[in-house]
Amino acid sequence: MLNDKIYLIDGGLSTELMCLGYKPDETKLWTGNSIVERPDLLKQAHLNFLKSGSDIITTASYQLSVDLIEENLKCTNQKAYDIIKQSFRIAKEAVKEANLGSEILIAGSIGPYGACLCDGSEYVGHYAKNLTIDFLIDWHRPRFESLLEEGCDLFAFETIPSIKEARALIKLLSEHPNVKAWLSFSCKNESEISSGDRFRDAYQVFKDNMQLIAIGINCTYPKYIEKLLESVSNDGTVSKPFIIYSNDAKIWDNSIRRYVNSNNEDPMKVVMEAIPKWIKLGAQYIGGCCNINSENIQQIKNFISDNHI
């Protein structure tokens, strides 16, 4: 990007759907189930983010694979492809209905292979060790190409746990030179992405890729992010902008499978206070992941404009 504009992306789609009374966690397709079951609520969730100021919204395809759809909805192969495409169509309808008069982008969400194992593997990422790059490319291809056929030309490669899976995605992307994407990793501490690869190494590997608009971090505890970004900027200039959409500062408790506020602090305040530092370090795309809903996106929007960031 050649300008200084800060682009606001959306928040956690699952979080917004939950605010609307839908429960993505009761199904293996996660937010993708709403495409079939409650397309009205899904469109509303997108609309809420648009009304809150998001410049970019992401589709409900994060946890969709053709196999997983067929298995869970007992449908045909053809129908499974159509459900993936429907995620883009619903997002498009929301953009049209919002009628904001400004340029809104839709990013096709591509979650990692581990997300479709539905066992939390995407936050560990070890599975990639036993898989070949070609296997990962073939696995990612159907969803990627379905969205592409529907007209999607920007992709969110998100919550990616390893450099290996990122390599597979970038190779797939390179087959379509006019298509853009961002590459966002989930991180487990102040220096490493979920598989244990270093974030600074991941950044170095992909920073010169012309199809990537940004490289960054999502679905991560916000207090880790400043150090993660510094690990890159300490190496020299940040040539590719960062994209950051962290969770709020609640902590995941695996025993009860939910986020808890254990530090007795305002979990959203932690994010707000960190945003100016992230921007200073080179973040140009800001949004939210788990526990960040459309009201929080509005808060971020106001905070950025009130502080002339």
- What is the binding site for Zn ion (CB under 5 A)? 219, 247, 289-290
Q: How far is the CB of 104 from Zn ion (least distance, A)?
A: 22
Q: Is 289 annotated as a binding residue?
A: yes
DSSP of the chain: --S-PPEEB---HHHHHHHTT--GGGSTTGGGHHHHH-HHHHHHHHHHHHHTT-SEEE-S-TT--HHHHHHHHT--HHHHHHHHHHHHHHHHHHHHHH--SS--EEEEEE--GGGGGTSSGGGT-GGGGGS-HHHHHHHHHHHHHHHHHTT--EEEEEEE--HHHHHHHHHHHHTSTT-EEEEEE-BSSSSBBTTS-BHHHHHHHHTT-TTEEEEEEESS-GGGHHHHHHHHHTTS---S-EEEE---S-EEETTTTEEE-TT-S-HHHHHHHHHHHHHHTTEEEE---TT--HHHHHHHHHHHHHTT-
Q: CA 94, CA 100: separation in Å to the nearest integer?
A: 11
Q: How far is the CB of 245 from Zn ion (least distance, A)?
A: 8
Q: Is 290 annotated as a binding residue?
A: yes
* Residue 12 or 282 with smaller CB distance to Zn ion: 12
Q: How far is the CB of 25 from Zn ion (least distance, A)?
A: 12
The structure tokens 């937010």 sit at 31
* Residue 24 or 172 with smaller CB distance to Zn ion: 24
* Residue 286 or 289 with smaller CB distance to Zn ion: 289
* Residue 53 or 222 with smaller CB distance to Zn ion: 222
* Residue 282 or 287 with smaller CB distance to Zn ion: 287
Q: How far is the CB of 159 from Zn ion (least distance, A)?
A: 7
Beta bridge partners of 260: 251
* Residue 144 or 245 with smaller CB distance to Zn ion: 245
Q: How far is the CB of 130 from Zn ion (least distance, A)?
A: 25
Q: How far is the CB of 205 from Zn ion (least distance, A)?
A: 23
Annotated binding residues: 219, 289-290
Annotated binding residues for Zn(2+): 219, 289-290
